[in-house]
């Protein structure tokens, strides 16, 4: 099976636009009638439903942002009675109080379909086993992948996140072809396999579907080698539906993830002005859910920074998005320079001797913000150097290590424009994922304030 829904996934562009425009017009009328929040905001903005005829009219409408979801907590943005929903989920609350989302039966069907499309794009087929290591519960990851896997006809193994011993046992004994989890947890699993001397070739798994947090090519390389898989990106957020808003195709890895835009219409806008940006430019990703019934969202400001573009020569007609650089609220501003942790990750991958395991430590020294970075050196590299003690001062470290340190400082300065206090540390000394998302920033400024 090349596509889960061949007709829609390869729908010619003009037909796709027509479908989106029809769906958008219906959505606008539906929300205006059913959700007082939208009626009030559109009236304040002086827009009538009849003014929105196509997706090109979207910029006339105001954005919906996370605080609006919190102000309407828990159910005031629902467009159907709560009794008509069949499931509630909530965001994992990474950045504050969780936000609630509800699903009608049709919404759950849509969710399952977009996950099934994503699974096929990842290289899954009916009959394969899917070890689902995303957390089950209020988080949309576990149940979302579960239902999509079942719809496709996979054999789903609902392990949930964490429980590393059990994950490894099932990988060996149940012999799944596919695993899904966060990229940081896949790093952890790769390392645990190596630590136990389990060779990736002895496993049956060939595909890892990774998402729920930003990751870069360095992690892809580590996980692909460490687990013997093709690592494919899945993106989503609970407010829009959950995982499966977009997905990479396994044969087009590294060229972006297809957004299932018949259901989720994307825009990229300037993070400061909210103005639409041209195709390919980086900005904040904004989604309008075109088909949801229980809690549709109009122009939802995801806070995620990326770009979107069409690749007309590729397998599907839907638009692609690049990797998420980070959330705009994860952006650090150090001495006036904007920085996402993934930018440091990007530089690290240029060094064969380093692992994509790192931590950014931000502190305040008077009025000045300071940034320190810890990066792990590969075990083999340290062994080759006679295991120097990395706690010692740089001056007494072997030349090779001092040169590596100097080269990293220089490259970070060149690429990011900041001089950072970098320390090279032993492999395994930086916290690992316990099964879910891993926070790679330790912000000492925040803990002081709290
Ligand atoms: P929370 O916002 O509480 O973490 P979610 O579990 O809904 O709640 O997480 C959605 C967010 O996770 C997205 O907005 C995005 O920031 C991040 N995310 C999800 N998938 C990816 C991915 N493939 N790459 C980068 N970031 C991702």
Let me know whether 337 and 189 are in one domain. no
Let me know whether 342 and 295 are in one domain. no
Is the beta carbon of 235 within 6 A of some atom in ligand 1? yes
Give the residue from 327, 344, 370 where a domain finishes. Answer: 327
Let me know whether 202 and 317 are in one domain. yes
Let me know whether 42 and 80 are in one domain. yes
Let me know whether 378 and 294 are in one domain. no
User: Which residues lie below 8 Å from residue 58, measured CB to CB, with a gap of 6+?
Assistant: 24, 52, 265, 267, 288, 299
Give the residue from 263, 294, 327 where a domain finishes. Answer: 327
Range list of H helices, 355-398: 379-384
Find the CATH number of the domain harbouring 338.
3.30.300.30
- Cα of 234 vs centre of ligand 1, distance in Å, is 10
Find the CATH number of the domain harbouring 273.
3.40.50.12780
Let me know whether 316 and 426 are in one domain. no
- Cα of 326 vs centre of ligand 1, distance in Å, is 9
- Cα of 53 vs centre of ligand 1, distance in Å, is 31
pLDDT at 450: 39
Smallest CA separation from ligand 1 atom 11, residue:
237
**Angular region, 373: left φ>0, alpha ψ -120 to 50, beta rest:** beta
User: Which atom number of ligand 1 is nearest to the Cα of residue 93?
Assistant: 3
Let me know whether 147 and 109 are in one domain. yes
User: Which residues lie below 8 Å from residue 22, measured CB to CB, with a gap of 6+?
Assistant: none
pLDDT at 449: 44
Let me know whether 321 and 397 are in one domain. no
Is the beta carbon of 436 within 6 A of some atom in ligand 1? no
- Termini Cα distance of the chain: 52
Is the beta carbon of 211 within 6 A of some atom in ligand 1? yes
Q: 399 φ, ψ to 5°? A: -55, -45
- The neighbour count for residue 446, using CB atoms within 10 Å, is 10
Let me know whether 323 and 352 are in one domain. no
Three-state SS at 53: coil
Let me know whether 28 and 65 are in one domain. yes
DSSP line for 412-438: HHHHHS---EEEEE-TT-S---SSS--
Let me know whether 22 and 71 are in one domain. yes
- Cα of 441 vs centre of ligand 1, distance in Å, is 16
Give the residue from 304, 327, 350 where a domain finishes. Answer: 327
Smallest CA separation from ligand 1 atom 25, residue:
214
Is the beta carbon of 300 within 6 A of some atom in ligand 1? no
pLDDT at 330: 85
Rounded to two decimals, the pTM is 0.96
Domain count, the chain: 2
Let me know whether 337 and 417 are in one domain. yes
- Cα of 332 vs centre of ligand 1, distance in Å, is 18
10-residue averages of pLDDT along the chain (450 residues): 98 98 98 98 97 98 96 96 97 73 98 99 98 96 98 98 98 98 98 97 98 96 98 98 98 98 98 97 98 98 98 94 92 90 96 96 88 94 87 80 95 94 94 95 71
Q: Which domain holds residue 57?
A: 1-327
């Amino acid at each position: 099976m090349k596509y889960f829904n061949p007709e829609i996934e390869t729908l010619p562009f003009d037909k796709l636009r027509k479908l989106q425009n029809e769906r958008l017009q219906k959505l606008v009328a539906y929300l205006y009638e059913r959700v007082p929040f939208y009626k009030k905001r559109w009236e304040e903005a002086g827009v009538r439903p009849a003014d929105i005829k196509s997706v090109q009219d979207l910029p006339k409408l105001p954005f919906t942002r996370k605080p609006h979801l919190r102000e309407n907590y828990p159910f005031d943005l629902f467009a159907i009675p709560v009794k008509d929903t069949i499931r509630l989920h909530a965001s994992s609350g990474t950045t504050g109080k969780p936000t609630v989302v509800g699903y009608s039966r049709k919404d759950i069907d849509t969710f399952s379909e977009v996950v099934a499309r994503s699974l096929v794009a990842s290289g899954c087929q009916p009959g394969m086993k899917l070890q689902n290591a995303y957390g089950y519960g209020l988080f949309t990851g576990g149940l979302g992948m579960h239902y999509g896997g079942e719809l496709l006809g996979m054999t789903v193994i609902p392990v949930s996140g964490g429980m590393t011993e059990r994950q490894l046992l099932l990988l060996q004994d149940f012999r799944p072809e596919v695993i899904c989890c966060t990229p940081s947890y896949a790093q952890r699993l790769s390392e645990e396999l190596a630590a136990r001397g389990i060779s990736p070739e002895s496993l049956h798994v060939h595909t890892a579907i990774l998402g729920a947090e930003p990751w870069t090519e360095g992690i892809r390389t580590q996980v692909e080698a460490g687990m013997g898989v093709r690592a494919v990106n899945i993106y989503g957020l609970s407010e829009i539906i959950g995982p499966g808003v977009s997905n990479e195709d396994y044969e087009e890895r590294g060229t972006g993830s297809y957004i299932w835009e018949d259901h989720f219409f994307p825009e990229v806008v300037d993070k400061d002005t909210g103005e639409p940006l041209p195709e390919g430019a980086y900005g904040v990703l904004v989604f309008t859910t075109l088909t949801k019934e229980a809690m549709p969202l109009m122009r939802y400001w995801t806070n995620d920074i990326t770009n979107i573009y069409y690749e007309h020569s590729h397998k599907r007609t839907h638009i692609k998005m690049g990797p998420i650089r980070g959330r705009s609220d994860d952006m650090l501003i150090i001495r006036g320079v904007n920085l996402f942790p993934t930018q440091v990750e990007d530089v690290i991958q240029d060094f064969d001797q380093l692992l994509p395991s790192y931590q950014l430590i931000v502190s305040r020294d008077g009025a000045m913000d300071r940034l320190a970075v810890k990066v792990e050196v590969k075990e083999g590299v340290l062994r080759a150097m006679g295991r120097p003690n990395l706690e010692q001062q740089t001056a007494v470290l072997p030349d090779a290590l001092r040169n590596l340190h100097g080269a990293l400082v220089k490259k970070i300065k060149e690429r990011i424009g900041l001089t950072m206090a970098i320390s090279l540390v032993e492999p395994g000394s930086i916290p690992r994922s316990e099964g879910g998302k891993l926070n790679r920033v330790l912000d000492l400024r925040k803990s002081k304030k709290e």
